[in-house]
Protein backbone atom coordinates (compact mmCIF):
# COMPACT_ATOMS: atom_id res chain seq x y z
CA UNK A 1 0.00 0.00 0.00
CA UNK A 2 2.90 2.35 0.73
CA UNK A 3 4.31 1.49 -2.71
CA UNK A 4 0.98 2.47 -4.29
CA UNK A 5 1.02 5.82 -2.46
CA UNK A 6 4.60 6.38 -3.67
CA UNK A 7 3.75 5.85 -7.36
CA UNK A 8 0.67 8.06 -7.06
CA UNK A 9 3.07 10.77 -5.87
CA UNK A 10 5.90 9.79 -8.23
CA UNK A 11 5.24 7.08 -10.87
CA UNK A 12 8.91 6.97 -11.94
CA UNK A 13 9.85 5.04 -8.77
CA UNK A 14 10.60 1.72 -10.49
CA UNK A 15 10.75 -0.48 -7.35
CA UNK A 16 7.43 0.82 -5.99
CA UNK A 17 5.80 0.59 -9.44
CA UNK A 18 6.84 -3.02 -10.11
CA UNK A 19 5.80 -3.93 -6.54
CA UNK A 20 2.26 -2.68 -7.24
CA UNK A 21 2.14 -4.17 -10.75
CA UNK A 22 3.11 -7.59 -9.39
CA UNK A 23 0.52 -7.41 -6.57
CA UNK A 24 -3.22 -8.13 -6.86
CA UNK A 25 -3.80 -4.40 -7.47
CA UNK A 26 -1.93 -4.49 -10.79
CA UNK A 27 -2.40 -8.19 -11.50
CA UNK A 28 0.53 -8.43 -13.94
CA UNK A 29 2.58 -11.61 -14.33
CA UNK A 30 6.39 -11.79 -14.57
CA UNK A 31 6.18 -12.61 -18.29
CA UNK A 32 3.95 -9.60 -18.93
CA UNK A 33 6.37 -7.28 -17.12
CA UNK A 34 9.25 -8.70 -19.19
CA UNK A 35 7.26 -8.13 -22.39
CA UNK A 36 6.67 -4.48 -21.45
CA UNK A 37 10.34 -3.94 -20.61
CA UNK A 38 11.57 -5.48 -23.87
CA UNK A 39 9.66 -2.84 -25.82
CA UNK A 40 11.64 -0.07 -24.08
CA UNK A 41 14.87 -1.17 -22.36
CA UNK A 42 16.53 2.18 -21.66
CA UNK A 43 13.89 4.28 -19.89
CA UNK A 44 12.20 3.87 -16.48
CA UNK A 45 9.37 1.38 -16.17
CA UNK A 46 6.60 4.00 -16.15
CA UNK A 47 7.80 5.38 -19.51
CA UNK A 48 8.06 1.81 -20.78
CA UNK A 49 4.38 1.30 -19.91
CA UNK A 50 3.41 4.55 -21.58
CA UNK A 51 5.35 3.48 -24.70
CA UNK A 52 3.64 0.07 -24.68
CA UNK A 53 0.25 1.80 -24.38
CA UNK A 54 0.85 3.74 -27.61
CA UNK A 55 2.57 0.91 -29.48
CA UNK A 56 0.40 -0.28 -32.34
CA UNK A 57 2.22 -3.61 -32.50
CA UNK A 58 1.63 -4.40 -28.83
CA UNK A 59 -0.46 -7.40 -27.80
CA UNK A 60 -4.04 -6.18 -27.45
CA UNK A 61 -4.90 -8.01 -24.22
CA UNK A 62 -1.80 -6.74 -22.38
CA UNK A 63 -2.22 -3.28 -23.89
CA UNK A 64 -5.74 -2.97 -22.44
CA UNK A 65 -4.41 -4.11 -19.06
CA UNK A 66 -1.71 -1.40 -19.14
CA UNK A 67 -4.23 1.29 -20.16
CA UNK A 68 -6.61 0.30 -17.31
CA UNK A 69 -3.82 0.45 -14.74
CA UNK A 70 -2.47 3.83 -15.93
CA UNK A 71 -5.99 5.29 -15.98
CA UNK A 72 -6.56 4.14 -12.40
CA UNK A 73 -3.28 5.73 -11.24
CA UNK A 74 -4.21 8.96 -13.01
CA UNK A 75 -7.62 8.93 -11.32
CA UNK A 76 -5.94 8.49 -7.91
CA UNK A 77 -3.50 11.33 -8.66
CA UNK A 78 -6.39 13.71 -9.37
CA UNK A 79 -8.34 12.58 -6.28
CA UNK A 80 -5.44 13.15 -3.87
CA UNK A 81 -5.32 16.83 -4.82
CA UNK A 82 -8.68 17.64 -3.21
CA UNK A 83 -9.48 14.78 -0.79
CA UNK A 84 -8.32 14.61 2.87
CA UNK A 85 -5.50 12.07 3.14
CA UNK A 86 -7.37 9.58 5.37
CA UNK A 87 -10.45 9.62 3.08
CA UNK A 88 -8.19 9.22 0.05
CA UNK A 89 -6.51 6.13 1.53
CA UNK A 90 -9.89 4.60 2.34
CA UNK A 91 -11.01 5.30 -1.25
CA UNK A 92 -7.94 3.33 -2.48
CA UNK A 93 -8.90 0.42 -0.20
CA UNK A 94 -12.41 0.32 -1.67
CA UNK A 95 -11.57 0.98 -5.34
CA UNK A 96 -8.79 -1.62 -5.50
CA UNK A 97 -10.55 -4.14 -3.25
CA UNK A 98 -7.22 -4.55 -1.46
CA UNK A 99 -8.70 -4.30 2.06
CA UNK A 100 -11.12 -7.16 1.37
CA UNK A 101 -8.37 -9.13 -0.37
CA UNK A 102 -5.93 -9.09 2.59
CA UNK A 103 -8.77 -9.96 4.99
CA UNK A 104 -9.14 -13.32 3.22
CA UNK A 105 -5.40 -14.10 3.34
CA UNK A 106 -3.67 -16.06 6.17
CA UNK A 107 -3.55 -13.82 9.28
CA UNK A 108 -6.14 -11.70 7.51
CA UNK A 109 -7.37 -10.02 10.69
CA UNK A 110 -3.87 -8.78 11.47
CA UNK A 111 -3.28 -7.64 7.86
CA UNK A 112 -6.54 -5.71 7.80
CA UNK A 113 -5.72 -4.19 11.19
CA UNK A 114 -2.39 -2.95 9.83
CA UNK A 115 -4.22 -1.24 6.94
CA UNK A 116 -6.57 0.32 9.47
CA UNK A 117 -3.54 1.52 11.42
CA UNK A 118 -2.17 3.21 8.28
CA UNK A 119 -5.55 4.89 7.84
CA UNK A 120 -5.48 6.08 11.47
CA UNK A 121 -1.97 7.48 11.06
CA UNK A 122 -3.14 9.41 8.02
CA UNK A 123 -6.04 10.74 10.08
CA UNK A 124 -3.66 11.90 12.83
CA UNK A 125 -1.32 13.39 10.23
CA UNK A 126 -4.14 15.49 8.75
CA UNK A 127 -4.53 17.23 12.12
CA UNK A 128 -0.94 18.55 11.98
CA UNK A 129 0.28 21.58 10.08
CA UNK A 130 1.90 19.39 7.39
CA UNK A 131 -0.23 18.50 4.38
CA UNK A 132 0.03 16.47 1.21
CA UNK A 133 0.84 12.94 0.12
CA UNK A 134 4.56 13.58 -0.36
CA UNK A 135 5.01 14.81 3.23
CA UNK A 136 3.00 11.86 4.58
CA UNK A 137 5.22 9.36 2.71
CA UNK A 138 8.34 11.08 4.10
CA UNK A 139 6.80 10.99 7.59
CA UNK A 140 6.17 7.21 7.39
CA UNK A 141 9.68 6.58 5.99
CA UNK A 142 11.22 8.50 8.91
CA UNK A 143 9.18 6.45 11.38
CA UNK A 144 10.44 3.25 9.74
CA UNK A 145 14.08 4.32 9.80
CA UNK A 146 13.91 5.41 13.44
CA UNK A 147 11.92 2.26 14.43
CA UNK A 148 9.54 4.42 16.46
CA UNK A 149 5.81 3.76 16.69
CA UNK A 150 5.85 1.39 13.71
CA UNK A 151 5.00 -1.92 15.38
CA UNK A 152 2.17 -4.01 13.97
CA UNK A 153 -1.44 -3.51 14.97
CA UNK A 154 -2.54 -5.02 18.29
CA UNK A 155 -5.39 -7.50 18.06
CA UNK A 156 -5.71 -8.09 21.82
CA UNK A 157 -7.79 -5.61 23.78
CA UNK A 158 -7.21 -4.45 27.34
CA UNK A 159 -9.93 -6.75 28.74
CA UNK A 160 -8.99 -9.95 26.89
CA UNK A 161 -8.63 -13.15 28.93
CA UNK A 162 -4.89 -13.59 28.38
CA UNK A 163 -1.62 -13.71 30.33
CA UNK A 164 0.42 -10.52 29.93
CA UNK A 165 4.19 -10.40 30.42
CA UNK A 166 5.48 -6.92 31.12
CA UNK A 167 8.05 -4.95 33.07
CA UNK A 168 7.11 -3.35 36.41
CA UNK A 169 7.33 0.12 34.81
CA UNK A 170 4.91 -0.93 32.06
CA UNK A 171 2.38 -2.21 34.61
CA UNK A 172 2.10 1.16 36.40
CA UNK A 173 -1.54 2.20 36.74
CA UNK A 174 -2.89 -1.24 35.73
CA UNK A 175 -4.49 -3.96 37.85
CA UNK A 176 -4.87 -7.69 37.29
CA UNK A 177 -6.66 -10.51 39.17
CA UNK A 178 -3.47 -12.54 39.68
CA UNK A 179 0.08 -11.21 39.40
CA UNK A 180 3.37 -13.15 39.30
CA UNK A 181 6.41 -11.14 40.38
CA UNK A 182 9.38 -13.24 39.30
CA UNK A 183 13.18 -13.15 39.42
CA UNK A 184 13.20 -11.10 42.63
CA UNK A 185 16.70 -12.30 43.49
CA UNK A 186 18.17 -10.16 40.70
CA UNK A 187 20.56 -7.51 42.03
CA UNK A 188 19.90 -3.86 41.37
CA UNK A 189 22.01 -2.42 38.55
CA UNK A 190 24.97 -0.70 40.22
CA UNK A 191 27.13 -0.71 37.12
CA UNK A 192 27.06 3.05 36.55
CA UNK A 193 28.10 3.73 40.16
CA UNK A 194 30.92 1.19 40.28
CA UNK A 195 32.44 1.34 36.80
CA UNK A 196 32.40 4.98 35.75
CA UNK A 197 35.75 6.75 35.97
CA UNK A 198 33.98 10.04 36.78
CA UNK A 199 30.74 10.26 38.74
CA UNK A 200 28.50 13.30 38.30
CA UNK A 201 25.82 14.45 40.75
CA UNK A 202 23.49 17.42 40.33
CA UNK A 203 24.15 18.66 43.87
CA UNK A 204 27.56 17.24 44.83
CA UNK A 205 29.27 17.89 41.49
CA UNK A 206 32.16 15.84 40.05
CA UNK A 207 33.73 12.77 41.61
CA UNK A 208 36.73 11.62 39.53
CA UNK A 209 39.30 8.91 40.18
CA UNK A 210 42.92 9.86 40.94
CA UNK A 211 45.34 8.52 38.33
CA UNK A 212 49.00 7.92 39.17
CA UNK A 213 50.64 8.03 35.75
CA UNK A 214 54.05 7.00 37.08
CA UNK A 215 52.81 3.72 38.52
CA UNK A 216 50.04 3.33 35.93
CA UNK A 217 47.38 2.89 38.61
CA UNK A 218 44.17 4.70 39.53
CA UNK A 219 42.60 5.23 42.96
CA UNK A 220 39.21 6.38 44.15
CA UNK A 221 38.82 9.77 45.85
CA UNK A 222 36.79 11.18 48.73
CA UNK A 223 34.61 13.16 46.30
CA UNK A 224 33.90 10.05 44.23
CA UNK A 225 33.07 7.97 47.30
CA UNK A 226 30.71 10.68 48.60
CA UNK A 227 28.83 10.77 45.30
CA UNK A 228 28.83 6.97 45.16
CA UNK A 229 27.13 6.80 48.59
CA UNK A 230 24.55 9.43 47.61
CA UNK A 231 23.76 7.83 44.25
CA UNK A 232 23.35 4.43 45.89
CA UNK A 233 20.84 5.92 48.34
CA UNK A 234 18.91 7.53 45.50
CA UNK A 235 18.96 4.32 43.45
CA UNK A 236 17.65 2.27 46.39
CA UNK A 237 14.91 4.85 47.00
CA UNK A 238 13.85 4.58 43.35
CA UNK A 239 13.88 0.76 43.53
CA UNK A 240 11.62 0.95 46.60
CA UNK A 241 9.12 3.04 44.62
CA UNK A 242 9.24 0.54 41.73
CA UNK A 243 8.83 -2.36 44.17
CA UNK A 244 5.76 -0.67 45.65
CA UNK A 245 4.26 -0.50 42.14
CA UNK A 246 4.91 -4.24 41.65
CA UNK A 247 3.31 -5.18 44.98
CA UNK A 248 0.12 -3.19 44.32
CA UNK A 249 -0.90 -4.50 40.88
CA UNK A 250 -2.81 -7.59 42.05
CA UNK A 251 -6.54 -7.50 42.85
CA UNK A 252 -6.86 -11.00 44.33
CA UNK A 253 -3.52 -12.81 44.56
CA UNK A 254 0.16 -11.92 44.33
CA UNK A 255 2.71 -14.71 43.81
CA UNK A 256 6.37 -13.76 44.26
CA UNK A 257 9.21 -16.08 43.24
CA UNK A 258 12.94 -15.85 43.77
CA UNK A 259 15.99 -18.10 43.96
CA UNK A 260 18.26 -18.23 47.01
CA UNK A 261 21.25 -20.56 46.66
CA UNK A 262 21.96 -20.64 50.40
CA UNK A 263 18.65 -19.81 52.04
CA UNK A 264 19.41 -20.96 55.59
CA UNK A 265 22.73 -19.13 55.82
CA UNK A 266 21.33 -15.91 54.38
CA UNK A 267 18.32 -15.98 56.71
CA UNK A 268 20.59 -16.51 59.72
CA UNK A 269 22.74 -13.53 58.69
CA UNK A 270 19.65 -11.36 58.30
CA UNK A 271 18.35 -12.42 61.71
CA UNK A 272 21.67 -11.50 63.31
CA UNK A 273 21.65 -8.09 61.60
CA UNK A 274 18.09 -7.38 62.71
CA UNK A 275 18.95 -8.35 66.29
CA UNK A 276 21.99 -6.08 66.23
CA UNK A 277 19.88 -3.11 65.09
CA UNK A 278 16.85 -3.98 67.17
CA UNK A 279 14.64 -1.15 68.46
CA UNK A 280 11.10 -0.68 69.76
CA UNK A 281 9.65 0.14 66.34
CA UNK A 282 8.83 -2.25 63.52
CA UNK A 283 10.96 -0.26 61.08
CA UNK A 284 14.01 -1.96 59.56
CA UNK A 285 17.21 0.06 59.90
CA UNK A 286 18.09 2.05 56.74
CA UNK A 287 21.66 0.74 57.08
CA UNK A 288 20.41 -2.84 56.65
CA UNK A 289 18.25 -1.90 53.67
CA UNK A 290 21.16 -0.15 51.93
CA UNK A 291 23.32 -3.25 52.16
CA UNK A 292 20.73 -5.59 50.64
CA UNK A 293 20.19 -4.85 46.99
CA UNK A 294 17.48 -7.19 45.71
CA UNK A 295 13.71 -7.42 46.20
CA UNK A 296 14.08 -10.92 47.62
CA UNK A 297 16.44 -9.62 50.33
CA UNK A 298 13.87 -7.00 51.34
CA UNK A 299 11.05 -9.56 51.40
CA UNK A 300 13.09 -11.88 53.62
CA UNK A 301 13.96 -9.02 56.00
CA UNK A 302 10.32 -7.95 56.32
CA UNK A 303 9.16 -11.53 56.83
CA UNK A 304 11.68 -11.99 59.68
CA UNK A 305 10.85 -8.64 61.28
CA UNK A 306 7.05 -8.77 60.98
CA UNK A 307 6.36 -12.50 60.76
CA UNK A 308 3.52 -12.54 63.31
CA UNK A 309 1.82 -9.50 61.80
CA UNK A 310 1.93 -10.95 58.28
CA UNK A 311 0.64 -14.46 58.98
CA UNK A 312 -2.84 -13.68 57.61
CA UNK A 313 -1.65 -12.10 54.36
CA UNK A 314 1.71 -13.70 53.59
CA UNK A 315 2.53 -17.38 53.05
CA UNK A 316 6.18 -18.32 52.53
CA UNK A 317 7.01 -21.58 50.73
CA UNK A 318 10.59 -22.87 50.45
CA UNK A 319 11.00 -25.37 47.63
CA UNK A 320 14.29 -27.20 47.19
CA UNK A 321 15.59 -28.05 43.76
CA UNK A 322 15.58 -31.80 44.46
CA UNK A 323 11.90 -31.65 45.48
CA UNK A 324 10.95 -29.73 42.35
CA UNK A 325 12.86 -32.19 40.18
CA UNK A 326 11.14 -35.12 41.90
CA UNK A 327 7.76 -33.65 41.00
CA UNK A 328 8.83 -33.22 37.38
CA UNK A 329 10.43 -36.66 37.03
CA UNK A 330 7.68 -38.49 38.91
CA UNK A 331 4.98 -37.42 36.47
CA UNK A 332 4.62 -40.56 34.42
CA UNK A 333 2.23 -39.61 31.67
CA UNK A 334 2.90 -42.76 29.64
CA UNK A 335 0.27 -45.42 29.48
CA UNK A 336 1.22 -49.07 29.13
CA UNK A 337 -0.61 -50.87 26.37
CA UNK A 338 -0.48 -54.57 25.58
CA UNK A 339 0.38 -54.32 21.88
CA UNK A 340 -0.15 -58.03 21.20
CA UNK A 341 -3.67 -57.97 22.65
CA UNK A 342 -4.55 -54.84 20.69
CA UNK A 343 -3.24 -56.30 17.44
CA UNK A 344 -5.04 -59.61 18.00
CA UNK A 345 -8.27 -57.72 18.48
CA UNK A 346 -7.91 -56.20 15.00
CA UNK A 347 -6.58 -59.47 13.52
CA UNK A 348 -3.19 -58.05 12.59
CA UNK A 349 -1.13 -60.86 11.07
CA UNK A 350 2.53 -59.85 11.18
CA UNK A 351 2.77 -59.25 14.96
CA UNK A 352 6.39 -60.44 15.27
CA UNK A 353 7.68 -57.96 12.71
CA UNK A 354 5.85 -55.04 14.37
CA UNK A 355 7.03 -56.05 17.83
CA UNK A 356 10.61 -56.19 16.54
CA UNK A 357 10.32 -52.65 15.20
CA UNK A 358 8.76 -51.30 18.42
CA UNK A 359 11.42 -52.95 20.62
CA UNK A 360 14.33 -51.75 18.45
CA UNK A 361 17.11 -49.94 20.30
CA UNK A 362 19.88 -47.84 18.81
CA UNK A 363 23.07 -49.81 19.49
CA UNK A 364 25.23 -46.70 19.79
CA UNK A 365 22.96 -44.93 22.31
CA UNK A 366 25.76 -44.78 24.93
CA UNK A 367 27.91 -42.84 22.47
CA UNK A 368 25.33 -40.05 22.23
CA UNK A 369 26.38 -38.55 25.57
CA UNK A 370 30.13 -38.76 24.94
CA UNK A 371 31.93 -35.68 23.70
CA UNK A 372 34.34 -36.12 20.79
CA UNK A 373 36.94 -33.67 22.09
CA UNK A 374 37.95 -32.69 25.63
CA UNK A 375 40.69 -30.96 27.60
CA UNK A 376 42.82 -32.33 30.42
CA UNK A 377 41.24 -29.89 32.86
CA UNK A 378 37.74 -31.01 31.97
CA UNK A 379 38.58 -34.67 32.41
CA UNK A 380 40.19 -33.88 35.76
CA UNK A 381 37.04 -32.07 36.92
CA UNK A 382 34.89 -35.02 35.87
CA UNK A 383 36.69 -37.13 38.46
CA UNK A 384 35.42 -34.93 41.31
CA UNK A 385 32.84 -36.24 43.71
CA UNK A 386 29.57 -35.57 41.81
CA UNK A 387 27.41 -36.54 44.74
CA UNK A 388 28.91 -33.77 46.86
CA UNK A 389 28.27 -31.23 44.11
CA UNK A 390 24.66 -32.37 43.73
CA UNK A 391 23.97 -32.09 47.46
CA UNK A 392 25.33 -28.54 47.45
CA UNK A 393 23.18 -27.66 44.43
CA UNK A 394 20.06 -29.05 46.15
CA UNK A 395 20.51 -26.99 49.29
CA UNK A 396 21.39 -23.81 47.42
CA UNK A 397 18.42 -22.44 45.56
CA UNK A 398 18.42 -18.77 44.89
CA UNK A 399 20.77 -15.94 45.41
CA UNK A 400 24.37 -15.35 46.19
CA UNK A 401 25.53 -12.32 48.18
CA UNK A 402 29.14 -11.37 47.66
CA UNK A 403 30.67 -9.41 50.52
CA UNK A 404 33.68 -7.62 49.10
CA UNK A 405 36.43 -6.02 51.12
CA UNK A 406 36.09 -2.22 51.00
CA UNK A 407 38.11 -0.65 48.25
CA UNK A 408 37.99 2.80 49.89
CA UNK A 409 41.43 4.41 49.94
CA UNK A 410 43.24 1.12 49.39
CA UNK A 411 46.89 1.29 48.42
CA UNK A 412 47.69 -2.11 46.96
CA UNK A 413 45.46 -4.99 45.99
CA UNK A 414 46.07 -8.33 47.67
CA UNK A 415 47.23 -11.20 45.50
CA UNK A 416 45.35 -14.47 45.61
CA UNK A 417 47.12 -17.79 46.07
CA UNK A 418 46.24 -18.74 42.49
CA UNK A 419 47.83 -15.55 41.17
CA UNK A 420 51.00 -16.15 43.20
CA UNK A 421 51.24 -19.67 41.80
CA UNK A 422 50.82 -18.31 38.27
CA UNK A 423 53.63 -15.81 38.88
CA UNK A 424 56.03 -18.52 40.07
CA UNK A 425 55.11 -20.70 37.09
CA UNK A 426 55.73 -17.78 34.70
CA UNK A 427 59.15 -16.93 36.21
CA UNK A 428 60.28 -20.56 36.12
CA UNK A 429 59.39 -20.63 32.42
CA UNK A 430 61.64 -17.58 31.89
CA UNK A 431 64.72 -19.25 33.39
CA UNK A 432 67.41 -20.04 30.82
CA UNK A 433 69.08 -23.41 31.42
CA UNK A 434 72.25 -22.14 29.70
CA UNK A 435 72.79 -19.49 32.41
CA UNK A 436 74.58 -20.21 35.69
CA UNK A 437 72.22 -18.58 38.17
CA UNK A 438 72.99 -17.12 41.59
CA UNK A 439 70.65 -15.15 43.86
CA UNK A 440 71.53 -11.83 42.23
CA UNK A 441 70.85 -13.08 38.72
CA UNK A 442 67.43 -14.39 39.77
CA UNK A 443 66.65 -11.00 41.31
CA UNK A 444 67.85 -9.32 38.13
CA UNK A 445 65.48 -11.49 36.05
CA UNK A 446 62.54 -10.45 38.22
CA UNK A 447 63.55 -6.77 37.89
CA UNK A 448 63.63 -7.08 34.09
CA UNK A 449 60.13 -8.58 34.08
CA UNK A 450 58.90 -5.59 36.07
CA UNK A 451 60.63 -3.07 33.80
CA UNK A 452 58.99 -4.65 30.75
CA UNK A 453 55.59 -4.33 32.43
CA UNK A 454 55.04 -8.09 32.60
CA UNK A 455 54.58 -7.90 36.39
CA UNK A 456 53.86 -4.92 38.64
CA UNK A 457 55.46 -3.80 41.92
CA UNK A 458 52.99 -5.68 44.13
CA UNK A 459 53.53 -8.91 42.20
CA UNK A 460 57.29 -8.45 42.31
CA UNK A 461 57.27 -8.11 46.11
CA UNK A 462 55.21 -11.28 46.49
CA UNK A 463 57.77 -13.44 44.65
CA UNK A 464 60.05 -15.54 46.87
CA UNK A 465 63.48 -15.10 45.21
CA UNK A 466 65.04 -17.79 47.41
CA UNK A 467 62.59 -20.44 46.23
CA UNK A 468 63.26 -19.60 42.59
CA UNK A 469 67.02 -19.78 43.23
CA UNK A 470 66.66 -23.13 45.06
CA UNK A 471 64.97 -24.57 41.99
CA UNK A 472 68.19 -24.00 40.01
CA UNK A 473 69.94 -26.41 42.40
CA UNK A 474 67.52 -29.30 41.89
CA UNK A 475 68.25 -32.47 39.90
CA UNK A 476 65.62 -31.52 37.29
CA UNK A 477 67.42 -28.24 36.56
CA UNK A 478 70.77 -29.96 36.35
CA UNK A 479 69.37 -32.53 33.91
CA UNK A 480 67.84 -29.71 31.85
CA UNK A 481 71.24 -28.01 31.61
CA UNK A 482 72.68 -31.20 30.07
CA UNK A 483 69.59 -32.06 28.01
CA UNK A 484 69.78 -32.39 24.24
CA UNK A 485 66.46 -30.56 23.80
CA UNK A 486 64.18 -28.55 26.12
CA UNK A 487 60.59 -27.61 25.23
CA UNK A 488 58.21 -25.43 27.26
CA UNK A 489 54.45 -24.82 27.00
CA UNK A 490 53.93 -27.24 24.13
CA UNK A 491 50.35 -28.12 23.12
CA UNK A 492 49.50 -31.80 22.59
CA UNK A 493 46.66 -33.91 21.22
CA UNK A 494 46.06 -37.60 21.88
CA UNK A 495 43.31 -40.21 21.52
CA UNK A 496 42.03 -41.91 24.68
CA UNK A 497 39.47 -44.68 24.91
CA UNK A 498 36.15 -43.31 26.17
CA UNK A 499 35.83 -46.32 28.49
CA UNK A 500 38.88 -45.09 30.46
CA UNK A 501 37.12 -41.80 31.26
CA UNK A 502 33.41 -42.66 31.47
CA UNK A 503 33.69 -46.27 32.63
CA UNK A 504 31.16 -47.27 29.98
CA UNK A 505 31.56 -50.15 27.58
CA UNK A 506 31.85 -47.84 24.56
CA UNK A 507 34.11 -48.45 21.59
CA UNK A 508 34.83 -44.76 20.96
CA UNK A 509 37.89 -42.52 21.18
CA UNK A 510 38.02 -39.03 22.66
CA UNK A 511 40.47 -36.45 21.36
CA UNK A 512 42.16 -34.94 24.43
CA UNK A 513 44.04 -31.67 24.19
CA UNK A 514 46.27 -29.89 26.69
CA UNK A 515 49.54 -28.09 27.22
CA UNK A 516 52.74 -29.69 28.61
CA UNK A 517 54.46 -27.21 30.92
CA UNK A 518 57.92 -28.67 30.28
CA UNK A 519 59.60 -31.67 28.71
CA UNK A 520 63.19 -32.37 27.74
CA UNK A 521 65.28 -35.13 26.19
CA UNK A 522 68.06 -36.14 28.56
CA UNK A 523 71.52 -37.51 27.79
CA UNK A 524 70.13 -41.04 27.47
CA UNK A 525 67.65 -39.81 24.87
CA UNK A 526 64.68 -40.38 27.16
CA UNK A 527 61.74 -38.02 27.33
CA UNK A 528 61.26 -36.42 30.76
CA UNK A 529 58.07 -34.51 31.61
CA UNK A 530 57.34 -31.92 34.28
pTM for the whole structure: 0.42
Last residue of a domain, which of 107, 125, 146? 146
Averaged pLDDT, 259-273: 88
Does residue 392 register a pLDDT over 60?
Answer: no
* 98, part of any domain: yes
Averaged pLDDT, 384-409: 46
* 379, part of any domain: no
Name residues whose C-beta falls within 8 Å of residue 355's C-beta, 6 or more positions apart in sequence.
339, 340
Averaged pLDDT, 163-191: 90
Last residue of a domain, which of 146, 168, 192? 146
**pLDDT: which is higher, 429 or 385:** 429
Averaged pLDDT, 517-524: 76
pLDDT at res. 474? 83
Does residue 175 register a pLDDT over 50?
Answer: yes
pLDDT at res. 404? 44
pLDDT at res. 385? 47
pLDDT digits over 38-69, tens only? 888 888 898 888 888 888 777 888 888 889 99
pLDDT digits over 337-367, tens only? 666 666 666 555 666 777 777 788 877 777 7
Name residues whose C-beta falls within 8 Å of residue 89's C-beta, 6 or more positions apart in sequence.
1, 5, 118, 119, 122
Task: For residue 26, give the DSSP letter.
Answer: T
What confidence tier does 414 reach under pLDDT thresholds 50, 70, 90?
low
Mean pLDDT in the chain?
80
With helix as H, strand as E and coil as C, how does 404-469 read?
A: CCCCCCCCCCCCCHHHHHHHHHHHHHHCCCCCCCCHHHHHHHHHHHHHCCCCCHHHHHHCCHHHHH
> Into how many domains does the chain fold?
2
| In contact, 477 and 339? CB cutoff 8 Å | no
Find the domain containing 139 and state its range: 2-146
Looking at mean pLDDT, say which of 94-103, 388-397, 454-463, 484-493 comes out highest.
Answer: 94-103
Does residue 398 register a pLDDT over 70?
Answer: no
d(CA 175, CA 245): 10
What confidence tier does 21 reach under pLDDT thresholds 50, 70, 90?
very high
Characterize the bridge pairing of strands 250-256 and 176-181.
parallel
pLDDT at res. 247? 94
Last residue of a domain, which of 112, 146, 180? 146
Does residue 369 register a pLDDT over 80?
Answer: no
What confidence tier does 412 reach under pLDDT thresholds 50, 70, 90?
very low
- The total of other beta-carbon atoms located within 10 Å of residue 362's CB is 8
Which phi and psi angles does 211 have, rounded to 5°? -110, 125
* 125, part of any domain: yes
Does residue 309 register a pLDDT over 90?
Answer: no
Averaged pLDDT, 301-322: 86
pLDDT at res. 256? 94
pLDDT digits over 71-102, tens only? 999 999 898 888 888 888 999 999 989 989 98
d(CA 377, CA 383): 10
**What's the CATH code of the domain at 105?**
1.10.486.10
What confidence tier does 463 reach under pLDDT thresholds 50, 70, 90?
confident
Which phi and psi angles does 457 have, rounded to 5°? -65, -45
* 77, part of any domain: yes
Amino acid sequence: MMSLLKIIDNPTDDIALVTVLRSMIGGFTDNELIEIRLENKNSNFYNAMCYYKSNECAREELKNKVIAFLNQIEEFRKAQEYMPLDEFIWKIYLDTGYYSYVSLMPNGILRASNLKMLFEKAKQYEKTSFKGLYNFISFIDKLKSSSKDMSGAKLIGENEDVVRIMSIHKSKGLEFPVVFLSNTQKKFNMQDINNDEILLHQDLGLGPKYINYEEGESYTTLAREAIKVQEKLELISEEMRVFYVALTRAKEKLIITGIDKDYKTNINKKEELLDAYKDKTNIISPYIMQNHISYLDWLELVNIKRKKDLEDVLEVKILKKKDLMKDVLSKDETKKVDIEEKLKSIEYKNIDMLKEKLDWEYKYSKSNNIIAKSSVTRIKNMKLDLEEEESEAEDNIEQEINYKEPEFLYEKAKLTGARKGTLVHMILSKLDEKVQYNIDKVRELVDILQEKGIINETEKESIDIDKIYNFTKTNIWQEMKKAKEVQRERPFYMNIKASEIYGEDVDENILVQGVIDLYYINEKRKYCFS
